[in-house]
Amino acid sequence: MVFVALALSLLLATSTVLGSPIARLHDPFPPTPKTPKGLLCNLPIPMVQKLLCPRQIANSDPAVITPLGTAHGVDDTANAVRFAVRYGTAARWEPSSVVTSWQLPNGNTNASSLPLACPQDGIDEDAMSEDCLSLLLYVPTSISPGSDVPTMMWIHGGSFTQGSATFPGLDGSNFAAATGSIVAVIQYRLGALGLMAPNGNMNLAVQDVMTAMNFLQTVLPSFGGSPSKITIAGQSSGATMIRALLATPSASSLFQSAILQSDPMDYGFLSAATQQTLQTYFNGLLPCSTTDVSCLNNISIDDLLGFTDNLSNTALTLDQSVGLGEPLRVVRDGSLITTPLDDTAPFPAVSKPIMVSNVKNEAGLSIYSDNAFPDSVAPTLYDEVVEGTFGDPDTSFVLANPNYAIPPSAQNNANTDARPTLEKLGTDQIWRCPGWTFARNWIGGGGNAYVGLYVVGASYPGNDAVSFCTESGIVCHQDDIEIVFGTVPSPTSQQATLTAEMQARYKAFMNTGNPNVAGHANWQLATASDVHALTLGGSGEVAAGGCDPSFFGDVVQYDYQKFDI
């Protein structure tokens, strides 16, 4: 729905990014890193670690014998042990492979050291490295080899260009202890290094995640985990990655179930033709031929990040199907990822149980940001934004839908602010409605799906840059992360109650494929006609509104339908 986004840019003097504000709805404020303090955290100086790196203080040195060697960990809390490990190796722009021995990340010798992030904008140079295929394993002290417990493997978000296993809220010790399960928080190659190989290798980042799962298959029994009980979970582009894995036949045996939080499914996967267009442009930025491996390997990280930014900022002018939220993303290449998992092709037979969730105000970060609409939006401008996003004839359908129409009584009211309606429209278009469509398709393919909507959250670090996201009752993109992990600082009673509920539901789902537990409301399975979306943090089911199957995906098409990708 960004096919007329260029025209809209002329309307918005406040916009600094090409395209419509609705099309821009995805990770506008990537999470603020839990900053590794450069190399200081790796220095064996107790006072430095105590002041700057509290997560890295080793209270003891738990050791576990694995088929790959001895794993050394640290007591992350009184109830869980953390193990940092390098799970894979990869030459630049080549597929990754599983390590053959247990290694601490980045050549560390101290088990309390955290892995460096994959190269990305926004963090210090000494906090990142291309040698970044690492994960953090959180193991409850209550389990032992032979326990056969499930594992949640978490895939972080960040629009495929940012994020790491050490970002805020992702300490898995509380979740592990509460659920009696193992938690693995992984990293994978980002940006051009993971998705734009000059030699034509596609989906390297997806293959990295599969490498991590293969690594876990080997080592989990040593920690008391079952290789056959891996649930993959992730938020935002991490959930997009999970959808890609669900569309990858060769990954199917590596996990049993999936949890997708806030996946912007409206975008779809990139087509191979679009990927080639982007690849040709990116290769033209490089100071080397695509066959000069030595030269390609010597391009600095700073230059590569600059080339990635150039491509991201130009992508929409090269091919409008990329959108603006995830212009670099996974590709339906026909070999690894073989199906779009959407309405553009027959849906395959499926069997894995899935959970699909959204937050109430997914679009709030974008709509209310300084780059879009920091001030009130008049009804006339709202109409122009809808026109610039959807074009004809869809604009008339959207404005006629009572869920997205400004009431006649408010049209000429000087105090009317259309941003709440615009935020609702963006949330439904990009996240909620395509997620519900996906769930209905999944049921039609033979699988089980549970759908939910968070109406209680915890403001994610960095979200306070948009005051709307700090208001009572608002749950913005990312505000579900700390609820699930149990890492909300000083939680309210509502937050603590929802955390306990969601961890109990996740525990049940990881063990049985069903998130229903005693003491909590019955969570009905989605059906082909009614997804039965449960209110998470509230009561009852969520009304379909514009996500009724007769509107989005039918009268008004999703991006993946519009561009047939």
Domain boundaries, the chain: 60-235+270-328, 360-541+551-564
| pLDDT tens column, 249-299 | 999 999 999 999 999 999 999 999 999 999 999 999 999 999 999 999 999
Predicted pLDDT at 13? 30
Spell out a b/e string for 365-404, using b for 16 or more CB atoms within 10 Å of the CB, else e. bbbbbeebbeeebbbebbbbbbbbbbbeebbeebeebebb
The answer to whether 496 and 376 are in contact (CB under 8 A) is no
| pLDDT tens column, 18-60 | 334 454 454 443 444 444 434 444 444 433 443 444 444 344 6
Average pLDDT over residues 318-342: 95
pLDDT higher than threshold 60 for residue 71:
yes
Average pLDDT over residues 222-239: 98
User: What is the share, in percent, of the chain residues with pLDDT greater than 70?
Assistant: 89
pLDDT higher than threshold 80 for residue 378:
yes
| pLDDT tens column, 409-442 | 898 888 999 999 999 999 999 999 999 999 999 9
Characterize the bridge pairing of strands 182-186 and 134-140.
antiparallel
The answer to whether 264 and 236 are in contact (CB under 8 A) is yes
Predicted pLDDT at 57? 39
Characterize the bridge pairing of strands 225-235 and 149-155.
parallel
Q: How many CA atoms lie within 13 A of 49 on its CB side?
A: 16
Q: How many CB atoms lie within 10 A of CB 121?
A: 15
Predicted pLDDT at 300? 97
Tell me which of 14 and 396 has the higher pLDDT.
396
**How sure is the predictor about 78, in pLDDT bands with cuts at 50, 70 and 90?**
confident
**Which of the listed CATH numbers 2.40.100.10, 3.40.50.1970, 3.90.70.10, 3.40.50.1820 matches domain 60-235+270-328?**
3.40.50.1820
Strand partners, 35: none
Cα distances from 458 to residues 41, 469, 533, 540, in angstroms, run 28, 10, 21, 21
Q: What is the mean pLDDT of the chain?
A: 90
Q: Can you identify the CATH homologous superfamily of domain 360-541+551-564?
A: Alpha/Beta hydrolase fold, catalytic domain (3.40.50.1820)
For the packed helices 301-318 and 272-285, what is the interaxial angle rounded to 10 degrees? 130
Average pLDDT over residues 222-226: 97
Residue type, 94: E
pLDDT higher than threshold 70 for residue 565:
yes
Predicted pLDDT at 60? 60
Q: How many CA atoms lie within 13 A of 497 on its CB side?
A: 11
Q: How many whole angstroms separate alpha carbon 538 and alpha carbon 267?
A: 29
Predicted pLDDT at 526? 98
Predicted pLDDT at 506? 98
pLDDT higher than threshold 50 for residue 168:
yes
Is there a common fold for 60-235+270-328 and 360-541+551-564? yes
**How sure is the predictor about 76, in pLDDT bands with cuts at 50, 70 and 90?**
confident
Q: How many CB atoms lie within 10 A of CB 63?
A: 12
pLDDT higher than threshold 70 for residue 362:
yes
pTM above threshold 0.85: yes
Average pLDDT over residues 95-121: 97
Q: How many whole angstroms separate alpha carbon 64 and alpha carbon 61?
A: 10
